[in-house]
Structure 1
Amino acid sequence: MRILITGGAGFIGSHLAEAYLKQGDEVYVIDDLSTGSLDNLAHLQANEEYAKRLFVHVDTILNHDILLQMIGTCDVVFHMAAAVGVQYILDNPLRSIRINIRGTEMVLDLCAKFKKKVLIASSSEVYGKHLHAPLVETDNIIYGPSSKFRWSYAASKLMDEFTALAHHRENGLEAIVVRFFNTVGPRQTGTYGMVIPRLVSQALTGKDLTVYGDGEQSRTFTYVEDVVKAVMLLVKHPEAAGEVFNIGGVEEISIKDLAYKIVEKVGSSSQVKLIPYEEAFPADFEDMQRRLPSIEKLKNLTGYAPTTDLNAILDKVIEFFRNKK
């Protein structure tokens, strides 16, 4: 089978590429390297067996001719290319909107043209300001004002979902939407606001662990290999098309408690330092206090459940950063 992964040099995309190469498939990657890195694929390109079946194009998904050729060639498309990370989105709001909306529209139009199954990577951000838990795929959406650019990412990903589902309804496109909740693992960096790699890196270098606000905001975290397993199960399931699925962890923890847990695991002398949001982010930033997914829909359809708990996730990330030295 030929697999196309847009954003395949990114964190999740590179792990997905590896899983399909291990399975014996051909993998095609397109990535503009704005947040991805060829380093994430270097170990795959160095593998003689994998290198024969891995085809990497450094280009934007807004290049229609390249996208046309690649989608026409492949059997299944994983659309992972997107602006990622709170900091990147606040720094590059217009580029983020263009990539997320125009890029996804182009991918979906071409998948419909060639009748190719496509999985669209969305985000837990689409839920907005909900405080209740767990979050269910049919929940209403609550956003802040357009002056808060944090919500531009959420709105753009929601438009991606609407477009995918509209293609399914009007054109019969086998489109699947997944909402990722804080995926973590090796090869992820803290550069764009990803909290666990940032805190682990700070702890290992003896710096203060910076936690924003009062630290009581809570999240769940999912190991990247569990996420890869989930999306691979979904694209194989005939009843997944036209549906939206949460993919996330089940252990809720406050960011402050997460920081202390990392300090303890690393054996660091670092301190946990609370920083007010207004000192860390522009005035148009707004955070969500709680984000816990229901994964019942995914489990009921595919039998999936995450197998890597938070302690194991942290151990793996800490080991990765220690080995990078």
Structure 2
Amino acid sequence: MRILITGGAGFIGSHLAQTCLERGDEVYIIDDLSTGSMDNIRFLQDNPAYENKLFVHINTILNADIMLELTGICDMVFHLAAAVGVQTILDKPLESIVTNIQGTEKVLEMCNKFKKRVLIASTSEVYGKHMHAPLVETDNIIYGPSSKFRWSYAASKLMDEFTALAYHRTNGLEVTIARLFNTVGPRQTGAYGMVIPRFVTQALKNDPITVFGDGNQTRTFTFVKDVVTALIKLIESDQSVGEVFNVGGHEEISISDLAQKIIQMTGSSSTIKLIPYEEAFGKDFEDMLRRVPSTDKLESITGFKPDKRLDFILSQVIASIMGK
């Protein structure tokens, strides 16, 4: 099988590429390295077993010529390329919107041209300001005002979903949408606001752990290899076509409790420092106070349910950052 992964040098993309190579697929990566890194895939490039199996293109998915070539070559497409992280969205709002909306339009256009099955990676952010749990795929969407650019990411990813489903309904394109909930694991960086690698790095340095807001906001976290397994099972399932699926963990924890757990697991002398949202992100930020998924639909279609516990996930991230 020939697999195209947009954003394949990113955190999730690199793990997906590794898994596909290990099972014998040819993997084609396109990444502009805006948030991805060659460090994530260099060990794959250096592996002699993948010499004629891995093909990396440093380019943008907005380049029609390269996307025409790569989509035509491949059998199926995982579209992971996107602006990621709260900090990126707030620092580069226009670039983020263009990347997410126009980039996805280009991927869908090419997949439709060649009738290639495609999985669109969306996000739990699309649910907006819900406080109930668990979130199910048919829940309504609740956003803040357009003056709060925090919501531009959620709105752009929701537009990606609408566009993908329109291609399916209008042209019969085989498309599946996966809403990812806080994916975590080795190779993730804290540079774009990702909370666990940021907390672990601070704890290992015995620096204050900076918790934004009051720390009472809650999240669940999903191990990256569980996410990769779910994505592969979804794209290979005929029953997933034209459908939206949550992919996420189930252990709900407050951000303050998460910081305390990381302090304990690292043996750190760090203290917890609360920083108001406006000081951390400026006036354009609002937070989602709770985010817990239902994965019943994923399990019913694929038979798979992400099951890695938070302690295991944290141990893997700690070991990775420590270089073990």
Q: Distance in 2 between matches of 1:20 and 1:171?
A: 28
Match of 1:303 in 2: 303
Q: Which runs of 4+ in 1 moved over 6 A?
A: none
Alignment of 1:150-165 (within 5 A): 150-165=150-165
- 2:129 aligns with 129
Say which SS state the counterpart of residue 68 (structure 1) adopts.
helix
Give the aligned residue type for 1:301: I
Structure 2 match to 1:66: 66
- Alpha-carbon distance in structure 1 between the residues aligned to 2:51 and 2:187: 19
Q: Counterpart of 1:290 in 2: which secondary structure?
A: coil
Secondary structure at 1:65 match in 2: helix
Q: TM-score, normalised by structure 2?
A: 0.99
Tell which deviates more after alignment, 304-313 or 255-264.
Answer: 304-313
Secondary structure, counterpart of 1:122 in structure 2: strand
| Displacement of 1:307 | 2.8
2:103 is equivalent to residue 107 of structure 1: no
Q: Measure, in 2, the Cα distance between the counterparts of 1:163 and 1:264.
A: 45
Q: How far is 1:50 from its partner?
A: 1.4
Which residue matches 2:254? 254
Aligned residue in 2 for 1:27: 27
Equivalent in the alignment of 2:46 = 46
- CA drift at 1:48: 0.2
The one-letter amino acid of 2:42's match is: A
Look up the match of 2:90.
90
Question: For residues 133-164 of structure 1, what are the alpha-carbon distances to aligned partners after superposition, in whole Å with 9 as ceiling and x for unaligned?
Answer: 00000000000000000100000000000000
**Aligned to 1:3, what secondary structure does the other structure show?**
strand
Displacement after TM superposition at 1:166 (Å): 0.4
Structure 1 residue 119 corresponds to structure 2 residue 95:
no
Q: How does 1:1-325 map onto structure 2 within 5 Å? A: 1-323=1-323
1:201-224 per-residue CA deviation (whole Å, 9 max, x = no partner) reads: 000011100001110000000000
Q: How much has 1:308 moved relative to structure 2?
A: 1.2
CA contact (8 A) 2:247 2:306 kept: no
Q: Structure 1: which 5+ residue stretches go unaligned?
A: none
Cα deviation for residue 51 of structure 1 reads: 2.6
CA distance in structure 1 between the partners assigned to 2:295 and 2:50 by the alignment: 33
Cα offset, 1:258, TM superposition: 0.1
**TM-score between the two structures when normalised by the length of structure 1:** 0.99
* CA distance, structure 1, for counterparts of residue 61 and residue 113 of structure 2: 16
What percent identity do the matched residue pairs reach?
A: 68
SS at 1:239's partner residue? helix
Q: Separation in 2 of the partners of 1:109 and 1:43?
A: 32
Give the whole-Å Cα distance in 2 for the aligned partners of 1:134 and 1:307. 16
* CA offset digits 1:22-61 (Å, max 9, x no partner): 0011000000000000000011011001132000000011
Residue aligned with 1:291, SS? coil
Question: Could you list the runs of 5+ residues in structure 2 that have no partner in the other structure?
Answer: none
